[in-house]
Structure 1
Amino acid sequence: MPPAPKTVVVVGASRGIGAAVAQHFASQGDRVWSVCRSPAVAGEWIQADISGPEGVGAIAAALGDTPVDALLFMGGVWEEGAFTDAYSFLNSSDAETRWVMSINAIAPIEITRALATNLAQTANPRAIYIGALSGLENCASPEVANTAAKFGLRGAVQALRLALDGQNIGFTVINPGNVATEEVLLDIEEGRFGSQTPIPMEVITGTIDWLISLPPSVDVPELNLWQRSGDR
């Protein structure tokens, strides 16, 4: 007997990892709520700019008291010129710093709080967040706001596990290297990134499937995924 359809909320679903994750769950027959500013590629679109409280409120209003099996925070932004020689911390504005931090670190906290009751209504709720290798100790990159936000996300999720302990929600941060999105593949092709084999998107969706399939008694706080460099 096939598993019962799940209800998942995918934040950052208009492109990149988020779009692929939304399409993956929609193709399996699950109910997908896609949160993004521009039209979603799959599922039911919740139009929201999560850089401010109005966007978080729009998510909560759209879902109401709908039970949610999984909150998948796949969103992320970074500074102009990030990961290239064009990036300059000294030329990055205060507004840009606050924008990156608000989406990458503050929004996950606020969205989790807004949907905690929805998650608690299901038998095996999971909240899964995309971090980055740059958020690990001794792996920081020079993009200050993005790196700080990814470090902060890991700490926030550790605290959320404690703050919502009675809700039986499983929390995981996935810290991947470069994932084979269209943007990353283009960066490699045009030489902005060094020679490497990025992580296939199927690894990300498969990892999320595995996490969601785990029994409530199994907790996986963090997973780190590295891309291969050079010709290996």
Structure 2
Amino acid sequence: MNLPATDRRVLVSGASRGLGRAVAQAFAANGDRVAVHYGSRASDARLTLESLAGEGHVLVGGDVSDPAGAARVADEAGQALGGIDVLVNNAAVNDPHPLATTSYEEWAEQWQRHMSVNLLGTALLSHRAARSMIDRGTGGRIVNVGSRGAFRGEPDYPAYGATKAAVHALGQSLAVSLAPYGIGVASVAPGFIETERVAHRLVGEEGEAIRAQSPFGRVASAQEVAEAVLWLASPAAEWSSGTVLDLNGASYLRT
């Protein structure tokens, strides 16, 4: 059940842009073959695919919050790549919904959406990929993208913080149950990352305040987080299974 260092089959969910794109690029540069998943941003996902080094990469679309959709995504990726050695659960939604100014109807809708994509989607893809790894007897890796917000709180995005905390807990449960099959499971908990989606928040006074959260006076690049994901998926990181790796530039310290 030895995991190769390169030429792995890697499924990255939510890889159309931002961190997902950076993760896909990191694995491709490492010599792995990548299935680039997208939910609705097909044109962005094609740009990700075109940016990848090497050959043998594929594009896979689908709704991972739907059981049938998640199964199709994993199965199509596995069929196109010849299996899945590494799953990176990156697909997520993060829409503001502060309780004091959010109607009950919108509050319920936001919680259902965040639960469906962030938590259920992660659980569904993890089951499908892990069972494939178990059946092949080759072992593998699952790396979940969580968040600093799971620990410090997200007052404007409470469902996001709560579902990311659940993703961390899910990863630790799977780490214990899947270790006998040679499957390592770990999570990263990034702080603020500079991506297209949040670029508008990094200007002016809000941007200054966000950068000041870290004593380094900046936010993370997507490439920095992607390198950590790449390491957690590597053969050298097996003994890190079950970990939640903080990647927040000392902006929040857990005890």
Partners of 2:237 and 2:220 lie apart in 1 by: 28
* 2:36 match: 34
Tell me if the contact between 2:78 and 2:84 (Cα under 8 Å) persists in the aligned partners. Answer: no
TM-score by length of 1: 0.84
- Are 2:144 and 1:129 aligned? yes
Structure 1 SS opposite 2:154: coil
The 1-side partners of 2:247 and 2:238 are apart by 23
**Is the 8 Å Cα contact of residues 84 and 133 (structure 2) preserved in structure 1?**
yes
Relative contact order higher in (CA < 8 Å, ≥ 6 apart): 2
Aligned AA (1:201): A
TM-score normalised by length of structure 2? 0.77
Pairs within 5 Å for 1:37-116: 37=39, 38-39=41-42, 40=45, 41-42=48-49, 43-64=57-78, 66-79=82-95, 81=96, 88-90=101-103, 92-116=106-130
Return 38-47 or 149-158, whichever deviates more: 38-47
Q: How far apart are residue 217 of structure 1 and its match?
A: 4.8
Gap change, CA 1:191 and 1:216, over 3 Å in 2: closer
Deviates more, 1:166-175 or 1:182-191: 182-191
CA RMSD, aligned part only? 2.6
Equivalent residues of 1:13, 1:19 under 8 A apart? yes
Partner residue in 1 for 2:247: 225
Match of 1:164, SS state, is helix
Query: C-alpha offsets along residues 6-27 of structure 1, whole Å, 9 cap, x if unaligned?
Result: 2110000112111121122234
Structure 2 SS opposite 1:150: helix
Q: Which runs of 5+ in 1 are unaligned?
A: none
Q: Which runs of 4+ in 1 moved over 4 A?
A: 190-193
Task: Determine whether 1:204 maps to 2:230.
Answer: no
Q: Secondary structure at the match of 1:5?
A: coil
Q: Secondary structure at the match of 1:128?
A: strand
Supply the distance in 2 between the matched residues of 1:87 and 1:14 (Cα, whole angstroms).
33
Larger helix fraction of residues: 2
Amino acid aligned to 1:222: V
Mapped partners of 2:137, 2:200: distance in 1: 40
Q: Decide whether the 8 Å contact of 1:133 with 1:177 is kept in 2.
A: yes
Structure 2 unaligned residues grouped into runs of 5+: 50-56, 212-217
1:152, 1:86 → 2: CA distance?
Answer: 20
Q: For the Cα contact (< 8 Å) 1:89–1:144, is it kept in 2? A: no
> Residue 13 of structure 1: which of 5, 15, 18 is its match?
15
Aligned residues between the structures: 223
> Quick one: distance in 2 between partners of 1:63 and 1:195?
37
Q: What is the SS of the residue equivalent to 2:174?
A: helix
Deviation at 1:164, TM superposition (A): 2.4
The offset of 1:63, in angstroms, is 3.5
Q: Does the CA-based 8 Å contact 2:140-2:183 persist in structure 1?
A: yes
Report Cα offsets for 1:90-126 as digits up to 9, x if no partner. Answer: 4633122101111111111111111113334375511
